[in-house]
Each structure stands twice: as C-alpha cells, then as structure tokens.
Structure 1
Amino acid sequence: MTRTSGQRPRLLAIIELGGYPNLTGLYQRLGFDAEILNSQRKAQAALKRRLPDVIVAEYNFQSDFRDRSSNLETLMARLQRSPEVKVICFYQAEYQHKLEQLRQRFPVFAALPLPVTEDQVEQSLRAALAEAAVAEV
C-alpha cells in the first residue's frame, strides 16, 4: 500500500445504486480512512487527488453503453498504472459472465455477488489488507 508508517489505509467506496448495507461503520472499525462517493465521475476526480489502497465499487452492466459494457471499465482502465490498489466489486449474479469478461482484462481483487453481507465484505477487506502487508515486507 502506498502510505507511510502510522498512516491509516485509504478506502474509496463508490455507491451508485446501493441496495446493500451501509458499510461505513465496517470501514471505520477496520481502520480505514474512507471516502464515500456516489458516481464514477466523482471517483475519477478523487483519484486525481489521492490514490486509495482499496476501492469498493459496484459492477453495473449496461448494454446501452457504446464503447464499454459497465461503469467499472473506466475506473479499471485508470488503475492499470496502479496495480497495488485492490478493487472489490459487488455485482448482480445474472451478470457474472459479463464481469468475468472484464476480469480477463483488468485485475479485480474480489467480486461479491449481491446481496452482500457485512461479513463477506469484511473478509475481502481483511484479505486485501493482509496481501498489502505482505507486499510491504
């Protein structure tokens, strides 16, 4: 992770559609400095200001997009230069095959089918923190 000793890990949560538990308390309990946004456009601006250690976002398949299949592609393309950022995404089970196509092109750390539980998200976040800690050694 890209922080100095003593600095809290940074998390960017992008909630566009929602429909799952409010995870802010979990992020805080795990020690994250969390920023929560409601659009990919705002997320792109946030990434210019500071790079998070973990991003939690939704994969929303959209067949009407002309040049991409989902909201997540622009985000993932931007993160190609920052492979240390762990992306955890939530997806609708009926679009798993589309998400798998995206995962062939971009590294998604964890993908959780909706409805997600706080326990599932916590396990993924702890795994991301553990992997980052090993990479720092």
Structure 2
Amino acid sequence: MEDQELLAVVELGGYPNFIPLYQRLNFKVEMVNSVRKAQSWLKKHRPQVVVAEFYSDPQFRDRMSNLESLLATLQRYDIEAGVVVLIDAKYLQRLEEVKSRYAVHGVLTFPVDEQAMQTALESI
C-alpha cells in the first residue's frame, strides 16, 4: 500500500514529536514550520491529513488565527484532507468561529498525548 501523505505544521511546538507515530500509521510525513511553507507545499501535494496548531495574535490584521490561511488554501486547491488542530483551551471559542467557515476533523487540546493523536488519526 502506498503511503498516505500527512502535512505537519509545527510553528510553536511544545508537545511530543509525533513523527514516529505518523510513520507507524503508514503516513509519509512532511513537516514545515510555517503556514507559508505549508501553502507552498500544498501547491504540489494532496495530503490525506493535515496536523496544525491554532494560535491567535492581536497583530493579525485580516484574520483571527494562523489556521485560517491554511484552511483557505486547502479549500482553494479542493484538498479534502482531514484536519487535526492542536490548541490551547483558551482559544477554543475562537476556533469555533473558524470551524463555522472551514472543515476541521479533530481538535486536541494541550497537553496532547500520543494516544489522543492516534485516535484522531485513525478516525479520519
């Protein structure tokens, strides 16, 4: 079976390295450290799964989070990836606003453990 692609967008980190888990689940992993790099990669790839962090910054002028640009890119290229969002619980309300416009498969709040991630990925 050909490996499925998984795009991991790690901008802040502070949680376990899930690459070994992704590989055990037969994903070919691409890890980038910014939404901009993810957008560039998505021009040529159609991942089955995208794992990305959510954070909000008052300096964002035209959006409320880093995630919106990534989700808009998936929509623009008609990529039907399962999106798993890693988030600090204090941002959950803001994520609900984003979810009203974009599809999100799973939401994992920090601290994220390997079993929760595996369960989210297996349900896609």
Task: Tell me the TM-score range normalised by the shorter chain.
Answer: over 0.9
Partner of 1:100: 96
| Conserved 8 A contact 2:21-2:114 | yes
Matched, 1:41 2:36: yes
SS of alignment partner, residue 105 of structure 1: coil
Match runs of 1:62-81 below 5 Å: 62-81=57-76
Query: What is the aligned length?
Result: 123
Displacement of 1:12: 0.3
Paired with 2:65 and 2:26, the residues of 1 have a C-alpha distance of 30
Gaps of 5+ in 1: 1-5, 129-137
SS of alignment partner, residue 49 of structure 1: coil
SS of alignment partner, residue 123 of structure 2: helix
SS of alignment partner, residue 89 of structure 1: strand
The alpha-carbon distance between structure 1 residues 37 and 83, as it changes in their structure 2 partners (threshold 3 A), is closer
One-letter amino acid matched to 2:34: S
Displacement of 1:10: 0.6
Structural RMSD (CA):
1.0
Identity %: 46
Paired with 1:90 and 1:124, the residues of 2 have a C-alpha distance of 11
Q: Highest CA radius of gyration, 1 or 2?
A: 1
Higher helix share: 1
TM-score by length of 1: 0.86
Displacement of 1:61: 1.1
Paired with 1:25 and 1:83, the residues of 2 have a C-alpha distance of 25
Displacement of 1:83: 5.3
Partner of 2:82: 86
